[in-house]
Amino acid sequence: MIAQIHPLGAAIALFFVVSLFSILWWMLHPPLYIPAAAAKARRSVFAVKKILVPTVGLPYAERGVELACRLGSEQGAEILLTYVVEVPRTMPLGIPLPEAEQEGNEALERASSIVKLHGLPSQKILQRARLAGEEIARIARERDIDMIILGIRSDPGLKGELLGRTSDIILRHSPCEVVIDKLPKES
């Protein structure tokens, strides 16, 4: 006797085989193993929930903003954008400086538009201080900042130093991790 194959039976048999093999293939391909040191590095970056980015309105500083957004996008970090107007010691701290303040607001606005592109929460902080570096370190302390991202210029300053006074103070006095982004000269 030759048994006849019913089309519905054949379809069920095919469905059964395909489903079974697909499930087993998926099961036998688990994600890669993460060793202890790698896990620590991964999670410590993931723990960065507040990133402070000082800006001076120049392209290298704005690149720092973009970098901060990329580093904070997975964990939805808050980006705090800051512009510090340095007031010389010869003048009172509260002296009107409309031009400098307008320049600062414009720089913050541009930086904020970069953050908006990533959909991350942000704050704009415009401050006056005698030394920008000290003020940035103070903000980082007071606001529980996890990381400062500092875009620096490509060319050495007048004294041939790569890190200016502000960067140097931030590096010395900041309570958190500091990432310095220096582009090659051609950029």
In whole angstroms, what separates CA 178 from the centre of its chain?
11
User: Least separation, in Å, of the C-beta of 50 and other proteins?
Assistant: 12
User: Least separation, in Å, of the C-beta of 59 and other proteins?
Assistant: 34
Residue 154 binds other proteins (CB under 8 A): no
Query: Residue 53 has which token pair?
Result: 């980015």
Q: Which stretch binds other proteins (CB under 8 A): 27-35, 110-118, 133-141, 177-185?
A: 27-35
Residue tagged 């392209």 (tokens): 59
* Rounded CA separation 23/26 (Å): 5
The residues with which 117 forms a beta bridge, in sequence order, are none
| Interface with other proteins (CB under 8 A), residue from 31, 88, 92, 184 | 31
The answer for residues whose C-beta is within 8 angstroms of residue 106's C-beta and 6 or more apart is 57
Q: Which stretch binds other proteins (CB under 8 A): 18-26, 50-58, 86-94, 166-174?
A: 18-26
The answer for residues whose C-beta is within 8 angstroms of residue 61's C-beta and 6 or more apart is 53, 54, 55, 107, 111, 151
- Other C-beta atoms within 10 Å of 50: how many? 18
Radius of gyration of the chain (CA): 27
- Considering beta carbons, is residue 42 or 116 the nearer one to other proteins? 42
- Considering beta carbons, is residue 34 or 91 the nearer one to other proteins? 34
- Considering beta carbons, is residue 17 or 95 the nearer one to other proteins? 17
Residue 76 binds other proteins (CB under 8 A): no
Residue 121 binds other proteins (CB under 8 A): no
Alpha helices of 28-86 — where are they, by DSSP H? 36-46, 59-72
Binding site for other proteins (CB under 8 A): 1, 3, 5-6, 8-10, 12-13, 16-17, 19-20, 23-24, 26-28, 30-31, 33-36, 38-40, 42-44, 46-47, 144
